[in-house]
Amino acid sequence: MVFAVFVLSALSFGALGSISVFLKPLSTEFGWSRGETAFGYTVISFSSALFGMLWGQIADRYGSRYFGFIGAIAMTLSLFLLSKNQNIYQFYGLYFLFGAFGNAILTSPLYANVGFWFRQQPGLALGITAAGGAVGQGVMPLCAGLAIGAYGWQSAYLIIAAVYFCIAFPIAFLIRESPTRQNLGTEMENEQNFIVDEKVAVAWISAAIIFCCICMSVPIVHLVPLLTDRGISLNSATQVLMVLMFSGAFGRVLGGKLGDTIGALPAYMLMSLGQTISVVWFPHVAYGPGLYVLAIFFGFTYSGVMSAILVCTRTMVSAGFAARAMSITGFFGWLGMGLGGYLGGVFFDLRGDYEWSFAFAMIVGWVNLIILSLFVLYTSKMRRQKLSSMG
């Protein structure tokens, strides 16, 4: 299951990451502004958020056995049709399809399923699984950049669609429901007494994650355009993004492991601090070793955040509520991702450079940390109350 969801999430997140590579060619071809084109990432994020709630409900009630097949069809079809795109509304509509029936169904519900395959070290399992998204966001933009350079953006979409078809469908046969979620009535995990009510915990995580994801999405969407604006080749720019994402694969594994070791919430806060203090420097560091060091550090910490969020949700909710809980936090996460990608483009259109975009990302990163600090205080208060009632 870890392998299957690793691969499917790599494909899904890889297509999202590739939007940054298609951004300038599409803007040039059709005369769209950066904000208008980056809104495609917002559309895919918002549709993932909305439909993720639906798929979470279905997964908790009926299971997620066939989710891989639906996602494979949606990804392949939307990418194929994007190669025929002629206007911005068609562009938005096809990315809506990818988000609603591809990305939304292959992420939160399947992560919830994976998390409950493991009683011991679920954080490590989720971290390895989530690392697939980082690997995909590293490999696919590089491949898309090479395909665009060799054949143009239309053929690039067509090639990616064919690759996705050949990989996603065989992998979909491996999806199975975890025994824990199949036997909800007899599993002890449903009888756990949590320090914080599971719905309250999800509300706190959701409030923080929207700002956390605004922070991380600005570099994801706009790093390649930022670098190519400086005269750096598309191939070199996508290599920087690949390094960022590959370091993110290790960050996701460590983020999950940290959740098992020091606790999910402290791990979330530590990784959030890393992405917040590093994101603002991208417009100010010249191309060279320093930029690669910055990309490694940001990629490691931002990806660790994503694993820590999954572990927070896994450890704070019961198995019967898991898919809905991850879909709810995923809703706010994708909302933040969409807003960050779009607003990064809007600030560029206003200023003509990316300094405001990345400064804005840092500011909302601090808002995320403030909310998490308040959640820690609330959790400590509830723990004291519970101990006093038991004593």
* Residue type at position 315: T
Which pair of tokens denotes residue 218?
């600005």
Tens of each residue's pLDDT in the chain, 391 residues: 999 999 999 999 899 878 878 988 998 899 988 788 888 888 888 898 889 888 888 888 888 889 999 999 999 999 999 999 989 999 999 999 999 999 989 988 888 888 778 877 887 888 888 888 888 887 888 899 899 989 999 999 999 999 999 999 999 999 988 776 666 544 444 445 567 888 898 999 999 999 999 999 999 889 988 999 999 998 899 889 889 988 888 888 888 888 888 888 899 999 999 999 999 999 999 889 999 999 999 999 988 888 888 888 878 887 778 778 888 888 898 889 888 988 998 899 898 889 999 999 999 999 999 999 999 999 888 888 877 776 5
Domain of 58, in residue numbers: 2-179+195-383
Q: CA-CA distance, 328 to 333, in Å (whole number)?
A: 9
Evaluate whether residue 173 is within a structural domain: yes
Evaluate whether residue 122 is within a structural domain: yes
Evaluate whether residue 185 is within a structural domain: no
Evaluate whether residue 391 is within a structural domain: no
pTM given for the model: 0.74
Evaluate whether residue 144 is within a structural domain: yes
User: How many domains in the chain?
Assistant: 1
Evaluate whether residue 344 is within a structural domain: yes
Evaluate whether residue 378 is within a structural domain: yes
Evaluate whether residue 190 is within a structural domain: no
- The CATH number for 379's domain is 1.20.1250.20
